[in-house]
Amino acid sequence: MPAYITLFQVIITYNDVMAPANPFVYGEVVTSGAFADRDAERARLGRDLAAGQKVFLISPRRYGKSSLVRGVLRGLARQKILTVEVTVASSSSYIGFLESYARALIAADTPAGRLRRWAGELLQAVRPELRFDSDSMGTSRFAVAFPSVRTARDTARLANEVFALPGRIAAARKQRMAIALDEFQAITAFNGGSVEHALRAAVQDQRAVGYVFAGSEPSLMERMLGPRRPFYKAGPVMRLEKIDKATFAEWIEARFSKGGMRPEPGLGEAIVDLAANVPYDVQRLAHETWDDVKAGGRKAAGLDDLHLTLTRLLGEQHTVFEESWQRLTLAQRAVLRALVLENGTELLSADVRTRHRLPVASSVQSALAALVRQDIVMKEGGRYVASDSLYREWVARQTY
């Protein structure tokens, strides 16, 4: 091989290893270094799960529930607790959910060779069908299906079997378990009350199994925990708040430095503010700013860079935001614009309604409800805020 190719390869390898990767991550579950703070929440959730509690974890979207849960489960796995994670909202039907849940439980429990026997013994009453496939990467996977389940009664019986599985596995292995059911609010779509009843009845007997039910539609989750619903008082409720502003800002600046870029004083705080301190939005702004500065070949990032990046992002999202805007009714547009300009308060007052030419209070209220339903706006304390901080900036700059 000619010498120059070798040298070329050496340089590529050197760059791959030495060029610091972007230290900010968004749009996926983050753990360890990319995860900021939340020490108290981690400790509490870990303790409760290890003690077999049934915990409800509630927050608006993109606050970091899945990331918190993943980190805590990893910690528990190191303590030899058997962990299982299932996203309820990924299933398109109740039986589909039971299949994916059963699969996750069996996979957590069993080395592949013992799989068939285990599944047969643990789920004998419902005759599961196990399929082994390998994916395009060659890793083998298996799937669980329940072809004999046809009627609603069959489904109810299957649910009872599957929901009882964790207790049986924990007993057979003499091991504690921790189970996370993420996007748990989706369960209400399956079969309403009966799923909640069956699951509640099963989990309350399972002393050795901790559960975390994480949900991102606070109003739906709170209703599920109300009196006369099966999960009423079933366990502690954790409402995940935003990360402390100053702590988050400091963390961002430290990550910039760690990634080999000097942050101008105040950059962390400016990012947190502009992102309304929503963890996803914070990491997005930080990630994109870091990328832009890096692409410019510079080693320091400041407020001007942040604003240039913001302008770029707004430009890239323009079409999407415009489409969203055009789908709104005139009343909804007016209310959204007023909400952005007025910081989300006093929207029903005569003064604000006159200033922003809003309709009567009852129409403002129904417009707000429609915006919340579409996840464009969310309620935060007593205020209404735009869910996406980029959309908020776009509305403030591009609409009249």
Ligand X SMILES: Nc1ncnc2c1ncn2[C@@H]1O[C@H](COP(=O)(O)OP(=O)(O)OP(=O)(O)O)[C@@H](O)[C@H]1O
By the criterion CB under 6 A, which residues form the site for ligand X?
25-30, 35-38, 59, 61-67, 216, 279-280, 283
Helices of type H across 137-215: 152-173, 187-191, 193-204
Binding partner of residue 222 among ligand X, Mg ion, none, CB cut-off 5 to 8 Å per kind: none
Binding partner of residue 97 among ligand X, Mg ion, none, CB cut-off 5 to 8 Å per kind: none
**Cβ atoms within 10 A of the Cβ of 4, count?**
8
Smallest gap from Cβ 11 to Mg ion, in A, equals 40
**Widest pairwise Cα distance in the chain:** 80
Give the nearest residue (CB) to ligand X: 64
Q: Which stretch binds Mg ion (CB under 5 A): 30-38, 59-67, 70-78, 275-283?
A: 59-67
Nearer to Mg ion, 66 or 283 (CB): 66
Smallest gap from Cβ 90 to Mg ion, in A, equals 11
Nearer to ligand X, 67 or 191 (CB): 67
Q: How many residues does the chain have?
A: 400
Q: Which stretch binds Mg ion (CB under 5 A): 65-73, 77-85, 303-311, 316-324?
A: 65-73
Q: What are 289's two structure tokens?
A: 């700013």
Interface with Mg ion: number of residues (CB under 5 A): 1
Binding partner of residue 38 among ligand X, Mg ion, none, CB cut-off 5 to 8 Å per kind: ligand X
Smallest gap from Cβ 252 to ligand X, in A, equals 9
**Which among 99, 84, 109, 127 has a CA at the least distance from the CA of 172?**
109
Nearer to ligand X, 1 or 40 (CB): 40
**Which among 164, 173, 99 has a CA at the least distance from the CA of 129?**
99
Nearer to ligand X, 126 or 187 (CB): 187
Smallest gap from Cβ 217 to Mg ion, in A, equals 11
Burial annotation 137-174 (CB, 10 A radius, 16+ → b, else e): eeeeebebebeebeeeeebbebbebbbbbbbbbbeeee
Q: Which stretch binds Mg ion (CB under 5 A): 5-13, 66-74, 277-285, 303-311?
A: 66-74
Smallest gap from Cβ 185 to Mg ion, in A, equals 11
For Mg ion, the binding residue among 53, 59, 66, 185 (CB under 5 A) is 66
Binding partner of residue 142 among Mg ion, ligand X, none, CB cut-off 5 to 8 Å per kind: none
Smallest gap from Cβ 283 to Mg ion, in A, equals 14
Dihedral sign, Cα of residue 11, residue 17, residue 20, residue 24: positive
**Which among 272, 196, 207, 205 has a CA at the least distance from the CA of 230?**
196
Q: How far apart, in Å, are the Cα atoms of 269 and each of 246, 265, 266, 314, 385? A: 7, 9, 5, 20, 19
Smallest gap from Cβ 254 to ligand X, in A, equals 12
**Which among 315, 265, 275 has a CA at the least distance from the CA of 292?**
315
How far is Cα 384 from Cα 382, in angstroms, rounded to an integer? Answer: 7
Residues that bind Mg ion (CB under 5 A): 66
